[in-house]
């Protein structure tokens, strides 16, 4: 049963098939929000209350506009496998740095056209704080993405991609730690904390137009 006093947030998620994507879905559903996962394969996720799937294409601004219309916030996990590309036969690929720039350019245009302004963008943005990596492809891509965001009307937050573990799915973040394999406990708890941090950032309206690293902050806390 939903808490009538808690506003329902509609989250559009690009990167639902990654471990952090699973953690985000679990966290937002736990808070009784709605999640719309954008996928090439609509059968990739089992149906759950509050969870919907839609086809989309992260590289097509018009498709992005259709996918995000009516939502409150978008989360895009640039390092997640299987980001939607409008393929009839989905591929479990990771985006190269310049492909990430193209994807974010389309994402910005589509979100602006749909009037959806809040964006959490997760990627390898730690390179922005490392001047010695000025010619590293991820650094050049991160700078191009930052420039595009700063020139947009979006209310964005850059999030450093946390250390992940392949093979973690939604069910791993929806059960007690006692039911997890021993090697899964620490990664699940770490990613769950990052997902909760992103949800809290949205709720409290924090770090808009900034670059954050939840993992370091939590490790020091």
**What confidence tens digit (pLDDT) does each residue in 34-66 have?**
999 999 999 999 989 999 999 999 999 999 999
Q: Is residue 3 part of a domain?
A: no
DSSP for 29-76 reads: HHTT-EEEEEES-TTSS--BTTEEEEE-BTT-HHHHHHHHTT-SEEEE
Q: Is residue 5 part of a domain?
A: no
The pTM of the full predicted model, rounded to 2 decimals, is 0.93
Q: Is residue 20 part of a domain?
A: yes
Q: Report which DSSP code applies to 158.
A: E
Please state the domain count of the chain: 1
CATH of the domain at 135: 3.40.50.720
* Assigned token pair, 110: 């589509």
- pLDDT tens digits, 73-109: 999 999 999 899 988 777 778 899 999 999 999 999 9
Which residues constitute the domain of residue 96?
10-220
Q: Is residue 1 part of a domain?
A: no
CB 26 within 8 A of CB 173: yes
Report pLDDT for 93: 82
The alpha-carbon radius of gyration of the chain (Å, integer) is 16
Q: Is residue 37 part of a domain?
A: yes
Tokens 């506003």 correspond to what residue?
A: 7
How many angstroms separate the Cα of 153 from the Cα of each of 110, 111, 210? 12, 9, 14
Backbone phi, then psi, for 159, in 5-degree steps?
-125, 130
CB 197 within 8 A of CB 176: no
Q: Is residue 96 part of a domain?
A: yes
Q: Assess whether pLDDT exceeds 50 at residue 180.
A: yes
CB 6 within 8 A of CB 69: no
């Amino acid at each position: 049963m939903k808490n009538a006093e808690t506003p329902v947030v509609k989250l559009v998620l690009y990167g639902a098939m990654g471990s952090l994507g699973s953690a985000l879905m679990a966290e937002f559903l736990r808070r009784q929000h709605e999640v719309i996962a954008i996928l090439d394969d609509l059968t990739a996720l089992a149906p759950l209350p509050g969870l919907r799937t839609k086809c989309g294409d992260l590289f097509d601004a018009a498709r992005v506009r259709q996918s995000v219309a009516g939502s409150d916030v978008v989360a895009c996990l640039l390092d997640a496998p299987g980001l939607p590309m409008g393929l009839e036969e989905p591929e479990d690929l990771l985006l190269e740095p310049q492909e990430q720039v193209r994807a974010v350019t389309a994402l910005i245009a589509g979100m602006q056209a749909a009037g959806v302004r809040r964006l959490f963008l997760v990627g390898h943005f730690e390179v922005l704080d490392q001047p010695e990596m000025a010619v590293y492809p991820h650094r050049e891509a991160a700078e191009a993405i930052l420039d595009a965001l700063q020139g947009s009307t979006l209310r964005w937050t850059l999030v450093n991609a946390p250390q992940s573990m392949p093979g973690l799915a939604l069910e791993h973040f929806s059960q007690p730690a006692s039911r997890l394999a021993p090697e899964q406990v620490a990664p699940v708890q770490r990613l769950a904390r990052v997902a909760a941090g992103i949800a809290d950032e949205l709720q409290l309206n924090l770090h808009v137009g900034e670059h954050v690293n939840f993992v370091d902050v939590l490790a020091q806390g």
